[in-house]
Homo-oligomer: A and B are copies of this chain.
Amino acid sequence: MVHAEASTFAEGLSKKQVYEQVLGQAQALFDGQRNWVCNLANASSLLYHAYHSLPSPSNAVNWAGFYVLDPKNPKQLILGPFHGQVACQTIAIGRGVCGTAVEKKTTQLVEDVERFPGHIACDGASKSEVVVPIFQDGRVVAIIDVDCAELSGFTVEDQVALEHVAELIAKSCDF
């Protein structure tokens, strides 16, 4: 049985250790369960609490969650499970940081969202962002989206770790 403590992260861990715990706990949480809503709901909780256990700027993460391809309109993303303040329901492929990650099929690591062409300001508090595509059979089915209220909230270390989380989600969930 799942226990809430799975998303409790000890103080003083390194970012590497925290991401290792995220991956390990996510793997345990997904075991025997392929429902994407259920798994992404728990994954957004894990990620949000992970960042908040780390020092600045990670503890300034103000949104951690997912968008998935809209089953009713393949030209847009639709909001999935997340932790943070309410968010845009849909995002056109190619628009903003999320839409660009889908169109270009690559992670977008954005140190200052104000300088990103076509940035969608869902939340004026967000200053930096990382968006990682989740691939199944070479196609983007969803994205991980994490926003930070500080500039340069994410580094290549975050990118690489979130790409591992995306791979785990891709092989663990039916979208």
Residues of A within 8 A of B (CB): 1-8, 25, 29, 33, 35, 37-38, 41-42, 45-46, 49, 63, 65, 68, 70-72, 78-90, 120, 122-125
Contact = CB atoms under 8 A, between A and B. Distances in A.
Given A42-B79, A79-B42, A81-B81, A86 B6 contact: yes
Contacts of A82: 41, 45, 81
**Copies of this chain held together in the complex:** 2
Given A3-B123, A124-B4, A89 B37 contact: no
A92 to B, nearest CB: 12
17 contacts: A1-B88, A1-B120, A1-B122, A2-B86, A3-B86, A4-B85, A4-B87, A29-B86, A41-B79, A41-B80, A41-B81, A41-B87, A42-B89, A46-B86, A49-B85, A80-B81, A81-B82
